[in-house]
Structure 1
Amino acid sequence: MSRVFQLIPANPPLEESIPGRCRTCAVVGNSRNLLKSKYGPLIDFQDYVIRINMGHSKGFEADVGNRTTHQVMYPESSSQLDNTTRPVLFTFKMRDIQWIIKNISTQPSRKKPLFNKDLVMVVNPAFMRNIHHVWLQRKDYYPSTGFMSLVLALHICEEVHVFGFGADSDGNWSHYWANEPKNEVKTGGHPGNVEFEMIMALTKHKVIEFYNGR
């Protein structure tokens, strides 16, 4: 970790809040319930648009928008970003840290970089531990990238709008870009149902605005 923080700033800059105006975030999940939602303009209207793992907008702009300010991802779910999108990297195993060092090292490489290394944000692993132990009461093995992105948004924005979370109308957890959604897709090692219940509780108490989609 010390090597990582030698390569990137300890406190990445955020835009200053404007007095009398809330900083707003759109956290865009990857659920198929976004399809035909027409949420695109509302998502793009927010100050920050946070996408998750391989979430992208090309071909789905009407439903998911076309702006991305932050892309949250792991090495296993990384994708090519443009030069203005800020990569937000979660870490919880040694391989993650090694991958980050490799990709933000100043050493020349023949490969095109995945992202602008000057915009990288690395979230302390203690943040993930806190979400798993405190927010989710240690349910299953680890929190999802999407739920951690939502909690991160609560730390950086006064107003948080959440899209594309939860199972689709058939009870599956397929992604909106999947050409042939698989039946009975589950949530892996993270507690999808528990996370969704927490999202509903945050919505009920008006901590976030949740948009269910179809």
Structure 2
Amino acid sequence: MACFHRLALRYTTLLLSFMTILLLFTQNSPLVESDDPFDDLIFQPTCSCRTCVMGFLDDDWFIYRYNPTIPALLNRKNSKLHKNTYKWWRGLQPSRLRVNYTEVVDQLFSLFPDEDHYSDAGPDRCRTCAVVGNSANLLRSNYGPLIDYHDIVIRINKGPTQGFEKDVGTKTTHRILYPESAVDLENSTHLVLFPFKIRDMQWLISTFTTRHITRTYIRVKSSIIANENKVMILHPEFIKYAYDKWMQNHGRYPSTGFITVLLALHICDQVNVFGFGASSTGTWHHYFDKTRTHFKGGPHGGDFENVTLHKLQHRNKITMYKGF
């Protein structure tokens, strides 16, 4: 009997030793899942769409540029700016006016929703977004029904729908604007301010209150029709992120269209882009007028933006519809 107990103790000791060695081996084995949540994301679905913006995080080019933690939309909680961000942002349009940024933010969110928008990403969500630019390549495209099928339809600046419904659709959930491009909005549309300068924030406050701001660097609308409960403000940090990470400091600052595509990549699971680029004849003008545009003009690194958008398409992060 004593012999049996000694054998049992020996086997138990050997078993525990083996389990300890096995545990140490598996903890250091590269085949075992890491405790790093970023590593886990590589193998987990990020949305329920057929293709997702995040997808499998195995593209070094995309991972280097895409920062899922960057604040896309401003609220009180995330409004504090890094010193270098504030300096760069204010430098986009130097002004002699001394403005207290914190006071402006407080005024903004005493009037408009102070919310953490679009923080509901997950494997069960499939949010489809159409970014609709203003290129003449939309004419005779018949994209209207396809554009309207998306959950979110983001239009840029003054691009109208009336009279162009067959090609551009009728649905507008979000309208990107700033003082110099302001238009009246339907009550159901989100006004998304792109504040390229602090004066833009002051203008937004003024349009819903005193209406005293009538000029920035040009004459602007003193008021517009819009739903104050659907106002959103792009975070200045996001503009600098677009410039640093995505534009690699080409140009002076990114274009509205380019930033809008990046915004969609951060709030949507699947992004389709319409109305960007030249028409089938190679001309650059709006679908709603004959105003000539060109991606190489102005303060934006248009060539670099164009190349970057095509790289995003090549990597299945966006789909670009050319209209021809």
Q: Name the CA distance, whole Å, in 2 between partners of 1:183 and 1:44.
A: 26
Structure with the larger strand share: 1
Give the direction of change, closer, same or farther, for the CA distance of 1:190–1:39 in structure 2 (3 Å limit).
same
**Counterpart amino acid of residue 322 in structure 2:** N
Judge which range, 85-94 or 188-197, deviates more. 188-197
Partner of 1:6: 110
**SS of equivalent residue, structure 2 residue 283:** coil
Partner of 1:82: 186
Partner of 2:174: 70
**Correspondence for 1:147 among 258, 278, 284:** 258
Following superposition of structure 1 onto structure 2, how do residues 125-164 of structure 1 map, counting pairs within 5 Å? 125-164=236-275
Aligned length: 211
C-alpha RMSD of matched pairs (Å): 2.5
Aligned-residue offset at 1:103: 1.9
**SS of equivalent residue, structure 2 residue 271:** strand
1:165, 1:196 within 8 Å by CA — same for their partners in 2? no
Q: Name the CA distance, whole Å, in 2 between partners of 1:165 and 1:24.
A: 18
Aligned-residue offset at 1:57: 0.8
Judge which range, 141-150 or 4-13, deviates more. 4-13
**SS of equivalent residue, structure 1 residue 139:** coil
**Counterpart amino acid of residue 118 in structure 1:** N
1:8, 1:120 within 8 Å by CA — same for their partners in 2? yes
Aligned-residue offset at 1:101: 1.1
Query: Is the aligned partner of 1:30 residue 2:134?
Result: yes
Q: Name the CA distance, whole Å, in 2 between partners of 1:115 and 1:209.
A: 30
Aligned-residue offset at 1:162: 0.6
Aligned-residue offset at 1:17: 6.7
**Counterpart amino acid of residue 262 in structure 2:** V
Q: Name the CA distance, whole Å, in 2 between partners of 1:4 and 1:52.
A: 22
Aligned-residue offset at 1:171: 3.5
Partner of 1:58: 162
Structure with the larger helix share: 2
**SS of equivalent residue, structure 2 residue 154:** strand
Q: Name the CA distance, whole Å, in 1 between partners of 2:193 and 2:293.
A: 30
Ranked by relative contact order (alpha carbons within 8 Å, sequence separation 6 or more), the top structure is 1
Partner of 1:194: 304
2:131, 2:264 within 8 Å by CA — same for their partners in 1? yes
Gaps of 5+ in 2: 1-103, 213-221
Partner of 2:153: 49
